[in-house]
Amino acid sequence: MRFVARLASLRLQSKVNRSVWGDLLLFLFLAVFGAFMALPLVYSINNAFKPLDELFLFPPRFFVRNPTMSNFTDLFHLLSNSWVPFLRYAFNTVFITAVGTIGHVLLASAAAFPLAKHKFRGNKILFSVIVLALMFSPHVTAIPNYMVIGQLGWIDTYSAIIIPAFAFPLGLYLMKQFMEQIPDALMEAAKIDGASEYRIFWTIVMPLVKPAWLTLTILLFQILWGTDGGTMIYSEKLKTLNYALGQIVSGGIARAGAGAAVALLLMSVPILLFVFTQSKIIQTMATSGMKE
């Protein structure tokens, strides 16, 4: 633990005099562990540009020798020949992901606010029910879940995926934990100045927990982006990108090149979103301007 503390403290000293050793240590740590995590990505990038003969080379080579775009052109040929237009799959995924993510973040934040900052009866019980729900294995509830959605008449509609996403317990849990850290005094001050609960929520609470909801956005996006409609959607025209691309890959060995290209395409969107949202996060200073 002492080691952690020392490393953590580098940030503080660094503004005054950044020590060369600290930098080196930091770099080393990031490089070693970063390599662990980045290798699969580097490998799949390389794979996407490998011609077929290199893809099946044994033993497999890590880096590509003769990079080619043929995997991507193959993929586009396959897609333009598909029965349902490719753009339709793409639209389905984008629609489900966007609506599901935005809706979840909004509803979960709104619900987290009273749980974190208002005292009302049943507050604690409700929260423990949420934590309990969080740890229930999704496989067990698969059948009852299907039946509930069936009775609501949502089978084979977007709602079957989107609306359960609104009610995931994860977001509420995270948002509540972050909102709890906002000092009550800030909200009291706003109330004395005549702000309504609604206004407090939008102009004080939400800006302060921006890192939290940006994080939640990434998590939800990442879950929904990977959905393939599962058992809930069976019309071809409502299926998602992930499903369509999975179909291409299941074409077997001849599709290995296109498959590698697919993997890269599917991966790149969440990664880009991640980089984008992370660049938007700045210090929010929940406790600045507080005097006790």
Partner 1 sequence: MIKVRLTQEQKKGRMGVLFLAPWLIGFLLLFALPIVESLKYSLSQLELTAEGMSLHFIGLENFKTAFLEHPAYNRILTESIVDMLVNVPLIIFFSLFSATLLNQKFRFRGLARAIFFLPVILASGALLGVEGGDIMQSVMQSANSEQGGNLSLLQSFELERMLIQSGANESVVAYLTDAVNRIYEIISRSGVQILIFLAGLQSISPSLYEAARIEGATGYEAFWKITFPVISPLILTNLIYSIIDAFSSNKMTRLIQETAFKTFDFGLSSAMSWIYFMCISVILFILYMLIARKVFYYD
Min CB(87)–partner 1 separation in Å: 19
Min CB(261)–partner 1 separation in Å: 10
Min CB(245)–partner 1 separation in Å: 6
* Complex with partner 1: residue 235 or 276, whichever CB lies closer: 276
Min CB(80)–partner 1 separation in Å: 19
| Three-state SS annotation for the chain | CHHHHHHHHHHHHHCCCCCHHHHHHHHHHHHHHHHHHHHHHHHHHHHHCCCHHHHCCCCCCCCCCCCCCHHHHHHHHHHHCCCCCHHHHHHHHHHHHHHHHHHHHHHHHHHHHHHHHCCCCCHHHHHHHHHHHHCCCCCCCHHHHHHHHHHCCCCCCCHHHHHHHHCCHHHHHHHHHHHCCCCHHHHHHHHHCCCCHHHHHHHHHHHHCHHHHHHHHHHHHHHHHCCCCCCCCCCHHHCCHHHHHHHHHCCCHHHHHHHHHHHHHHHHHHHHHHHHHHHHCCCCCCCCCCCC
* Complex with partner 1: residue 69 or 152, whichever CB lies closer: 152
* Complex with partner 1: residue 80 or 279, whichever CB lies closer: 279
CA pair distance 155, 159, nearest whole angstrom: 8
* Complex with partner 1: residue 80 or 250, whichever CB lies closer: 250
CB 64 within 8 A of CB 49: yes
* Complex with partner 1: residue 91 or 249, whichever CB lies closer: 249
Min CB(220)–partner 1 separation in Å: 12
Name the nearest CA neighbour of 172 among 91, 108, 117, 102.
108
Min CB(237)–partner 1 separation in Å: 18
Min CB(83)–partner 1 separation in Å: 19
Query: Which residues are within 8 A (CB) of 176 and not within 5 positions of it... i.e. 6 or more apart?
Result: 112, 115, 116, 127
* Complex with partner 1: residue 61 or 77, whichever CB lies closer: 61
* Complex with partner 1: residue 85 or 150, whichever CB lies closer: 150
* Complex with partner 1: residue 209 or 233, whichever CB lies closer: 209
Min CB(81)–partner 1 separation in Å: 19
